[in-house]
Amino acid sequence: MPGIRDFLHRKVMLNYSKQRRLVLLLSLIIGILSGLAAVLLKNTVHYATEFIMHGFDFAEGNYLYLILPLAGIGLTLLFSLYIVKDNISHGVARILYAISKKNGKIDAHNMYSSMIASTLTIGFGGSMGLEAPIVLTGSSLGSFLGRKFHLNRKTVNILIGAGATGALAGIFKAPIAAVVFSLEVLMLDLTMVTLIPLLISSATAATIAYFFMGSRVMFSFELIDPFYIKHLPYYMLLGVFTGLISLYFTRMTLSVESKMSRIKHNWQKWLIGGIPLGIIIFAFPALYGEGYQFMYDMINHGMTGLINENLFGAYTGVWSVVILLGLIMLFKVVAMALTGGSGGVGGIFAPSLFVGSISGVFFGRSST
């Protein structure tokens, strides 16, 4: 029956074409929403931090810094336990679990809960990043819309990737890097069916971010010194050194989180993790929050707030700075793991950038 076969074939192709157009339209919508979410989260944390820190100065030895991280994590716990009533930490792990085990279903509350929780954690000084929470937000938007339109599992997973891509592109203004992240970390297929929705979402979210936050990038610098072949051995040694630091980063994080996970009561975790976290941040102000401001200052050759001078006194000399940089590099990992292990919500991407940047300055100053 050629006529019936042709009719069925045309109907199948028509349905497929309609679904493809729907996926592209949803990718655009997801890009807009995830870009707006990234702008909102970035500004919310910034102004929350400004409000909380208004009138405070480490130089005056204000001891409220000892309890600010503890207070932020406590508010996060109250929000997650009694309002959301779900565990909202470790965003990327939850996305991968949803893709592999739950047919792409991510709980709808993740469209807003991780943003609120990370604002409470990081705004009060928790030493983590915003990337994982915003990626979870974008992915949950994709999952929600995909399931709302009754799309199949593979298509829902593509929309989850589009949400993650848009969120990361929006918070970093880096659309291509965001696409690469989704393809590699979320392990999506590298096909045109997958790639086009990711590109649409990524470009849209980055445009939204540029529109609301301007064209200024987070880190900008100009190379004025020439490149010398004789410096190549130092670059290779730096690669080896940062590789060892990354090993320390991973093992220390897993060790601290493993020890914290053995504590079954949430409020015991809060105290056991939050109190030493406050002490660390009080001693080393650079570890407060994400740490991007400190990295920005380093690029522009200014490193204020290495230590609480009211507690330790002023530091002078090249090797004093080198030693302090080494301590900050090591304690950042501990502070990050304590923040997450005690109930805070955030990601490890910003801390990894922080530790990497400190490693470079530490190595450079040690080599001169």
Q: Give domain limits for the chain.
A: 19-213, 229-367
Taking phi over 0 as left and psi of -120 to 50 as alpha, with beta for the rest, 178 belongs to: alpha
CA angle 162, 163, 168 (to 5 degrees): 100
From the list 179, 170, 177, the residue with the least C-alpha distance to 204 is 170
Per-residue pLDDT of the chain (368 residues; tens, 9 = 90+): 555 555 444 544 445 567 788 889 999 999 999 999 999 999 999 888 888 877 666 555 567 778 889 999 999 999 998 998 888 877 788 888 888 888 888 988 999 999 999 999 999 988 898 888 999 999 999 999 999 988 888 889 999 999 999 999 998 888 898 998 888 887 777 777 788 999 999 999 999 998 888 776 666 666 677 778 888 888 899 999 999 999 999 999 999 989 998 988 889 999 999 999 999 988 888 888 888 878 877 777 666 667 766 666 666 666 777 888 888 999 999 999 999 999 899 988 889 999 998 998 888 888 76
From the list 139, 50, 107, 130, the residue with the least C-alpha distance to 344 is 130
pLDDT of residue 309: 66
CA angle 153, 21, 19 (to 5 degrees): 40
Spatial neighbors of 300 by CB under 8 A, at least 6 apart, are none
Q: Give me 206's structure tokens.
A: 């980055």
Strands (E), 194-347: none
pLDDT of residue 218: 65
DSSP 170-203: HHHT-HHHHHHHHHHHS----SHHHHHHHHHHHH
pLDDT of residue 14: 46
CA angle 353, 355, 361 (to 5 degrees): 105
Spatial neighbors of 265 by CB under 8 A, at least 6 apart, are none
pTM of the model: 0.86
- End-to-end CA separation in angstroms for the chain: 83
pLDDT of residue 70: 92
CATH number (3.30.70.260, 1.10.3080.10, 3.40.50.150, 1.10.10.10) of 19-213 reads 1.10.3080.10
The backbone torsions φ and ψ at residue 347, rounded to the nearest 5 degrees and listed phi first, read -125, 175
Q: CB 30: neighbour CB atoms within 10 A?
A: 31
- Tell me the β-bridge partners of 347: 129
Q: CB 278: neighbour CB atoms within 10 A?
A: 23
- Determine the distance from the C-alpha atom of residue 55 to the mean position of all C-alpha atoms in its chain, rounded to a whole number: 28
Q: Is the dihedral of CA 73, 76, 81, 86 positive or negative?
A: negative
Helices (H), 83-130: 91-101, 113-123
* Distance from C-alpha of 135 to C-alpha of 366, rounded to nearest angstrom: 37
Consecutive H or E run containing 319: helix 318-341
* Distance from C-alpha of 312 to C-alpha of 84, rounded to nearest angstrom: 42
Taking phi over 0 as left and psi of -120 to 50 as alpha, with beta for the rest, 107 belongs to: beta
Spatial neighbors of 222 by CB under 8 A, at least 6 apart, are none
Q: Give me 174's structure tokens.
A: 């880096």
Which residue type does 127 have?
S
* Distance from C-alpha of 95 to C-alpha of 109, rounded to nearest angstrom: 14
pLDDT of residue 17: 64
Burial environment of residue 238 by CB neighbours within 10 A (0 to 12, 13 to 18, 19 or more): middle
CB 197 within 8 A of CB 27: yes
pLDDT of residue 224: 73
* Distance from C-alpha of 122 to C-alpha of 47, rounded to nearest angstrom: 11
pLDDT of residue 310: 67
pLDDT of residue 103: 84
